[in-house]
Amino acid sequence: MQSFEHRTVLRRETVDLLAPAPGKVFLDGTLGAGGHAEALLDAGAQVIGLDQDPAALDAARTRLSSRGERFIAEHANFRDARGVLDRLGVAEVDGALVDLGVSSPQLDSPERGFSFRARGPLDMRMDPTRGQPLSALLAQWDERALARIVETLGEERFARPIARAIHRAHRKGELEDTAQLAELVARSIPRKAWPRDVHPATRTFQALRIAVNDELGALSTFVGDLPRIVGRGGRAAAISFHSLEDRIVKQGFAKLATGCICPPQLPVCACGRVAQWKLLTRKAVQASAAEQRENPRSRSARLRAVERLA
């Protein structure tokens, strides 16, 4: 497997919003190659980093090994952040970050099964040591369930014919690797409907990856747990790369920052609800034109942040 090298997206903007400083403790829920964690450490903060991918974890540990006790790396999904902090004896942190989606090293490693551009196993697990690979799940999903996954998680309008083709091929034992899967998806979409700039299997591969790893469920859990993770005066940030992720972050942060929920016709508040958080980003922060030129992946990145009121 190639070395785990990944370009950090929105590094400066993320650090500015999280406001790290000496004495503060931050949770990096998606450690990756350690770019964001490195920036937080450079500002003098302590970082507890999580990643479910052992390859990413090894890369981050190698990169940040000189930081000593200020850096802790744990093999875990960010949905389990509260449990990890409990195990480490950390009651709360001053900031939390997740950088969502799949990284370039994961996509570029055929043996991981994420890419439609190279032949690899039907796996797609972010953590290859846990859970079920795509091949096992395809044996469990019927055609209707598969179509629902491709349509909702991939926002693919040809989900039904794609699901039909995948289900039949898998049932007949004619689907063994990602190259065959990509070809099958492409054949299921009318040639005139193929996207101009991306592979026709892009949306389907995205949907299957999200389903295999329950990525949206993990994100919803993490956002819901923020009041149990971040202390008063602390901040939380999330970088998303497609609309489904961004919607969960946007709505979850807005809910945290909502105060009174009484009907507008009531003259005075009866619910007693007071906002415990405030939005730091009314609109999502996007990468600069310069960063987008240097790193095309950053074009779809959306950064949002909230602060817990003191």
- What is the full DSSP assignment across 239-257? EESSHHHHHHHHHHHHHHT
Residue 155 sits in which domain range?
A: 112-213
Q: Are residues 222 and 95 in the same domain?
A: yes
d(CA 252, CA 249): 5
Question: CA angle, corner 45, sides to 40 and 48, nearest 5?
Answer: 80
> Which of the residues in the chain have pLDDT under 70?
1-6
Buried-exposed string 166-203: b where 16+ CB fall within 10 A, e elsewhere = bbebbeeeebebbebbbebbbebbeeeeeeeeebbbbb
Length of the chain: 310
The DSSP output letter for 13 is H
pLDDT at 6 (0 to 100): 62
pLDDT at 218 (0 to 100): 98
Of 101, 86, 32, 91, the closest CA to residue 248 belongs to 101
Phi, psi angles (nearest 5°) of residue 59: -65, -45
Most distant pair of Cα atoms in the chain: their distance: 66
Q: Are residues 44 and 136 in the same domain?
A: no
- Asked, for residue 104, whether it belongs to a domain, the answer is no
Pick left, alpha or beta for residue 7 (phi over 0 → left; psi -120 to 50 → alpha; otherwise beta): beta
The H or E element spanning position 33 is none
The DSSP output letter for 286 is -
| Residue pair 237/40 in contact by the 8 Å Cβ criterion | no
Q: Are residues 124 and 249 in the same domain?
A: no
Q: Are residues 90 and 231 in the same domain?
A: yes
Query: At 148, which CATH number?
Result: 1.10.150.170
Phi, psi angles (nearest 5°) of residue 182: -60, -40
Q: Percent of the chain at pLDDT above 90?
A: 85
Contacts of 67 (CB under 8 A, 6+ apart): 41, 47
d(CA 135, CA 133): 5
- Of 197, 213, 229, the residue at which a domain comes to its end is 213
Q: Are residues 304 and 225 in the same domain?
A: yes
Domain count, the chain: 2
| Residue pair 81/96 in contact by the 8 Å Cβ criterion | yes
- Asked, for residue 116, whether it belongs to a domain, the answer is yes
- Token output for 291: 């960063």
Of 265, 220, 269, 263, the closest CA to residue 240 belongs to 220
- Asked, for residue 105, whether it belongs to a domain, the answer is no
Q: Are residues 198 and 262 in the same domain?
A: no
Q: Are residues 267 and 130 in the same domain?
A: no
pLDDT at 4 (0 to 100): 52
pLDDT at 149 (0 to 100): 98
- Token output for 298: 């950053």
d(CA 297, CA 109): 17
Q: In what order do the strands lie in the sheet with 93-99?
A: 71-75, 46-51, 25-28, 93-99, 230-240, 302-308, 277-279
Beta-sheet pairing, 277-279 with 302-308: antiparallel
d(CA 303, CA 95): 15
- Asked, for residue 302, whether it belongs to a domain, the answer is yes
Mean of the per-residue pLDDT values of the chain = 94
Query: At 294, which CATH number?
Result: 3.40.50.150
